[in-house]
Amino acid sequence: MDDCAKSKAEVAAERLAEIDPATRAKGIKMMIPMPGHRITDLDECRKGIMLSHQLIKGSDAIFLLTDSRESRWLPALLGALENKLVMTAALGFDSYVVMRHGIRGSQDRLGCYFCQDSASPIDTISGRTLDQQCTVSRPGLSMIASAIAVELMVSILQHPLKGLAPVSSAKSPMEPIPKEGSLLGVIPHQIRGFLGHFRELHLVGEASNCCCACSDNVLSSLQDSMVETIMSYLADENALNRSSGAARHEIGQEEGSHEDFCLL
C-alpha cells in the first residue's frame, strides 16, 4: 500500500521499526475530540475520549505533536488527570515552543501548555488557509523542535526527581551544570526558538489556578463522570470556563471587583 493511503501514525510506526528493529511501535488511527468543533457523532466522540484516556493512562511519557491548540486540550487534560510526564512541541512558520507540563506534587508546580492562556480553546482551523494554521513551516523546524523535545525528556528522566525536577538554567554554555540539573545538563521548563534570528529563549511559567486543562477545579469535576463531563466541556466552552474559574476572572475584570480574581 502506498504511504499516501496510510495515516501519519501508521507510517511513523513503520519508520521507527526501520530505524530500530528492536522498537515496538504501533500506529493507531483515531479521532481526538476538540473544543470549539461541532460534535457530529456522539458515540465516536465518546470512543475518542475513552481511547485517549486508555493510551495516556498506559504510558509513562506523552508527546503532544498535534497541529492545533484545541487538539492538545484533551491529551493535556488527561495527562494532568493521570499525573503523567507530558511534553508539547508546537510550531509556527519560523518559531517553535518545546515545553514540559508541570506534575502535581511539587510545591511550585510548573504550568502546562494552557496555563498562560487559561480560557477554553476555540476553533483555530475552520475558515483559515494552511499558512494561517501554522502547518507551513521552514524545512528544518519540525526536526529541530522534535529533537529538542526528546532531549528534554531524556534529561528529565536522568534526574532523581524525574518529572518533579526543578527548573535549572545556565547563562552560558561555559558555565558548569548547576546542581539542580540532571546528569545530562540543565532542565528548562519552556524552550522557545526563533529560526529568523537563530536564537533560543528559556522561559518559566507557573501553573494557573484557572487553567482549562490542569487546574484542580477542572480535574476534580471529572471524578464522578469523566466522559460525560468532558463531552459537556467540548459542547460548550462557557461550561469549561465556568468550571476552571476563567469566567469568574473575566467578570471580575469587567466589574472592577477583586473578589473573583484567579491567581494566574
Residue 49 C-alpha cell reads as 475520549
Residue 246's pLDDT band, with cuts at 50, 70 and 90, is: confident
pLDDT for 251: 44
Residue 8's pLDDT band, with cuts at 50, 70 and 90, is: confident
The mean per-residue pLDDT over the stretch 188-213 comes to 95
pLDDT for 134: 62
Residue 173's pLDDT band, with cuts at 50, 70 and 90, is: confident
The catalytic residue among 45, 112, 134, 210 is: 134
pLDDT for 248: 60
Distances (CA, A) of 41 to 12, 33, 127, 239: 28, 10, 22, 20
pLDDT for 135: 67
pLDDT for 136: 79
Residue 33's pLDDT band, with cuts at 50, 70 and 90, is: very high
pLDDT for 18: 94
Rounded CA separation 197/185 (Å)? 24
Residue 32 pLDDT greater than 70, yes or no: yes
Rounded CA separation 84/77 (Å)? 10
Residue-averaged pLDDT of the chain: 88
Q: Work out the angle at residue 53's Cα, subtended by the Cα atoms of residues 51 and 58, and round it to the nearest 5 degrees.
A: 100
- Tell me which fold the domain 31-255 belongs to: Rossmann fold (3.40.50)
pLDDT digits (tens, 9 = 90+) for 79-110: 999 999 999 999 988 999 999 999 998 778 99
Range of lowest pLDDT (45-59, 105-119, 176-190):
105-119
For residue 239, what is the enclosing H or E element?
A: helix 237-244
pLDDT for 254: 45
Residue 262 pLDDT greater than 70, yes or no: no
Beta-carbon neighbour count of residue 198 at 10 Å?
7
pLDDT for 252: 46
pLDDT for 240: 93
Model-level pTM? 0.87
172 vs 257, higher pLDDT: 172
Is the sign of the CA dihedral 218, 222, 224, 228 positive or negative?
A: positive
pLDDT for 133: 61
The mean per-residue pLDDT over the stretch 175-182 comes to 90
Q: What percent of the chain has a predicted confidence (pLDDT) above 70?
A: 89
105 vs 65, higher pLDDT: 65
**Residue 134 known to be catalytic:** yes
